[in-house]
Each structure stands twice: as C-alpha cells, then as structure tokens.
Structure 1
Amino acid sequence: MQEMVRDAIQAVTGAAHGADERAIDGCSIPTYAVPLRSFALGFARMATGTGFAPVRSKAAKRLLSACMAEPFFVAGTGRADVALMEAAPGRIFAKGGAEGVYCAALPELGLGIALKCNDGAGRAAEAMVAAVISKLLHADEILAAKLIELANAPIESRVGAKVGQLRPTAELN
C-alpha cells in the first residue's frame, strides 16, 4: 500500500520519492523531500487534471472539489486553510504543511502555488500565501480585499487583546 501511495504522489509532483528522499515526520508517517516547484506543479495538476490519465484527472478534480466544498475537514477550526477556501468557495484550495510550507491551487487560473517561510513560521506562511493569492485574483476586487485582510491579520494575546499585526513585505502587499 505504501508503495502505491508513494507512486501516486510521485506521478502528481514529478519528483522522486525514493528511500533517499524519505524521513519520518512528527506525525510518525513517511514524508518526502519535494522541491517547492514540484509541489506547485502537483497542485496545478490536481486543479486542472492536466498531465493525468482520464481516471486520475477525474479523481483529482473530485478530491479538490470535495475539499473546497467542506474546507473545515481539510484543516479544522480557526485555520488559515479554511479561511482562504471560505473566502472564495470553489475557487481556492489551500493547505498548510510543516515548517512554514504552504501550497494552494487556483483551478480557474490553472495554477499551483508552493512557498516556504524560511524560518518555518506557519503564521508568516499564511500571510504570504494570502497575499500571493490576492495578487493572482486581483480582478475580483472584493475577494482581493478580503484576502489582503487575511494577509494582514491581527495578533492577539491570550485574553483577546490586539497586540500586533502580521503583514507581508511591501512586495507582496
């Protein structure tokens, strides 16, 4: 079974998934070192079905549609993945990963996005991906404004007091 999953992920990303690229992550499951470019390609392929045989293309579109229809089940309460997908139902698929990695797919543009915040901070990666998506979907001014709001999220203390704000660099904002 593990080999079948590995082979499927390798077909989606185009990246090698051999023993030399494998480690065990904090969830105790095998994980693979994959270049960001390959993640972006995989997310674009999942969004469009391009580069897949008809059966895999249909399955990829069905999977992404299900995730976008029920974003809560992708990430859970209070997560940026959910907020991004809920900002534009059916138009954005987003998924955060470990160590500041964030990926997204924009089916209407046929694009996949993959980025990594160098210090591994998830909050910063969330701001970055929201800003990038807002630039890509700029033609929808209302959505772009909503995404910029997500990219510039307040930082609150444990008692709910606003103590700061996340914001992407000027190049992204």
Structure 2
Amino acid sequence: MSPSTARLCEVWRGPIAESVHFGHVVIAGPDGEVEAAWGDPDATILPRSSAKMIQALPLVASGAADARGLGPEQLALACASHQGAPLHVAKVAEWLAAEGFDEAEMRCGPEPSRDKNLRFEMIRDGKSPSQLHNNCSGKHAGFLTLAAQLGGGAEYVEPEHPVQIAARDAFEVVTDRESPGFGIDGCSAPNFATTMSAMARAMSWFATAHRREDTLSRAGVRLREAMMAHPLLVAGEGRACTLLMQAAKEPVALKTGAEGFFIAILPERGQGIAIKAQDGATRAAECAIAAVLVRMGVLDADHRDVARFLSPQITNRRGIVTGSIKPAVTLLG
C-alpha cells in the first residue's frame, strides 16, 4: 500500500476484516477540476478499457462512422468490453460483413467467450474461439473502419499508425495533458497513460460534451448516448457496467477497465469519475464505483443489482454465507 492511497473496500470473514483494498477515486466537476478525491489524484495510471470511448472518438469525429453508416449499436460496441456472448459475436460479425472486412484483418487476437454457456458449448463441439469472441472485438471493428478512412496499412495497432495517432491526439485533448507514454493492452493496441485527475477530467469532458459545438464534442455525445442506450452491448448479462447503468436513477455511462479501473460519466451533472484499485482487483473497483454513485444519489443501495456489487455476500462451496465485501465508510459519506 502506498501512503497516498485510500481505503476502498474491506473483505470481511465473520468478525474479521480479512483483506483490504486500497486505491484512488477522483470526481471532476463540469469545469474539469477536482471536486473530491480519495487517494492521490496525481497518480499516473493506465486506464485500460475504461478509455475505449476516448479511443472511439476519431471513428466518429473523422466522419468514418457516418460514411460507413454506423449506428448507435456499432458505436456502443466500439466502446465495449463485452462477454463474447452470441449477441455480441453476431453484432460484430454483421458489422464486419457490412463493411467488407474479414475477421482475419483484426488484430485483437482470439479469446474464449466469457459467456459461460457459449464457452462450454464451443468446448463440447470442439470449436475454437475466434477474434469475434474477444471482448475488444467491437473496438477493433471500429479501428478497422477508421483505418479504411485514414489509410496507413493493415497494422492499425502500431503506435505510429494514423489510427493510433488519432487516438492519442483525442486522448490528450480530453485529458488536457500530454500523455507520458503508453503500454500495450491485452488486445495489442496502445493504452495511453495519464493521471487520475486527468482521467476524471476526460469523463467530465464527455459529461459536458452536449454544451459544446465542436466536432470532437459532438462525437463524444454520440458515443456516451450509444453506451447508455445499449448497456447490454457495452458489457453483458450479469456485468457491473450493464447492471448499474440499468439500475441508475439518472443517465450514466459506466465502463470498467482491466486491473481495477472504472469510470463514470454523468451528463445531467456534468461530472466525471475515475477509480483505480491499486492491487488491480475488479471486485474492489466495482464496490467503489457502486459506493460513490450511492453516495451521490445516482444509485439506490437497496436495489438488488446495486447491492450485488456494493456489498456482495461471500459464500463457501456449501452455499453458506461466510462473509461480505463492504465499501470503506469514507466512500459512502
């Protein structure tokens, strides 16, 4: 634990707090400035898949989305970390076919479906997973579509490809700072680094995009609206992004990222939220985002789908409740 991290949640077994997760939380206001923070707002992070709506901005702002006839479903998939369920696989396959792309042109790599039924069915039938099952296949369909507009060759995930230069430029605009570097994500695309406060600022940029008339802001509105209109495409059955968006009492776009990242975009308030669990635990990030949104009145703590992330029970192999995960009291207020 770093001295500058904050307690996000605790894992209790009986009367004992067996584990504690630490990290960072930043809420940015409509002006992009920090309104509240737990932990270190200046911590440098990789937002991972929480940045997908930023990576999708050039797809819309360049005119490629309109030139290719993309609608809200495709835009939601471009921002998605989906389950690779039949719905997602079919939608991405339709997108590729409509644009004349082949799955082999994608650079995300094959991944077993995260949909349990489909994964077991494929194992039973001896079928191998394809790139369509990859949770990032929608993002890569977007990259392919943008590459067809910008040119630059087949290797669109290379950092100096026009697609990734456009993604980096958009990232630095919405975070309002130069990125200090990047790591290569699980899907082989560059993932640009920034600070916690800058990532929260980027989410407030999306939240206030409807107040501006520039091309990039209009693209931001379309992407966040697509996410909120199609929460099932953004993640999938049983996933925090999908269930919490559906449970919210006001419009909110939510997106998880690997290694314990989570963001929220709140258009009615003009606020953006960024959360990072320092140890990379998804359960900590899900608990923390639920707690912060309950604190803000966006979610109801008693809602069944909120409670499953805010304060989930821990059961043993006999189904006996042995403990629970609880958000830090400082997050709930």
Q: Same fold (TM over 0.5)?
A: yes
2:222 aligned with 1:65: no
Q: How far apart, in 1, do the equivalents of 2:318 and 2:168 lie?
A: 44
1:7 counterpart residue number: 169
Name the counterpart of 2:314: 155
Specify which of 164, 170, 173 is matched with residue 329 of structure 2.
170
The structure having more radius of gyration, on CA atoms, is 2
C-alpha distance in 2, partners of 1:86/1:148?
10
Tell me if structure 1 keeps the 8 A contact 2:200–2:273.
Answer: yes
- Structure 1 unaligned residues grouped into runs of 5+: none
Distance (whole Å) between structure 2 residues aligned to residue 89 and residue 73 of structure 1:
20
The aligned runs of 1:45-124 (5 Å cut-off) are 45-49=205-209, 53-88=213-248, 91-124=251-284
- Correspondence 1:20-31 to 2 at 5 A: 20-31=180-191
SS at match of 2:329: coil
Aligned CA distance change for structure 1 residues 12 and 165 (closer, same or farther; 3 Å): same
**Counterpart in the other structure of 1:135:** 295
CA change 1:170–1:61 in 2 (3 A) is same
TM-score, normalised with respect to structure 2: 0.46
Distance 1:71 1:161, change over 3 A: farther
The one-letter code of the counterpart of 1:143 is D
SS in structure 2 of the partner of residue 56 of structure 1:
helix
Alpha-carbon distance, 1:72 to partner: 1.4
How far did residue 163 of structure 1 move?
4.3
Contact in 1 for aligned 2:247/2:306 (Cα 8 Å): no
Identity of aligned residues (%): 39
Shift of 1:166: 1.8
Q: Say how many residue pairs are matched.
A: 168
The answer to whether the 8 A contact 1:45-1:51 is kept is no
TM-score (norm 1): 0.84
SS class of match (1:166)? strand
Q: Structure 2, unaligned stretches of length 5 or more?
A: 1-162
Contact 1:91 1:106 survives alignment (8 Å): yes
Question: Does the 8 A contact of 2:235 with 2:242 survive in 1?
Answer: yes
How far apart are residue 169 of structure 1 and its match? 1.2
Indicate the structure with greater helix content: 1
Q: CA RMSD in A?
A: 2.4
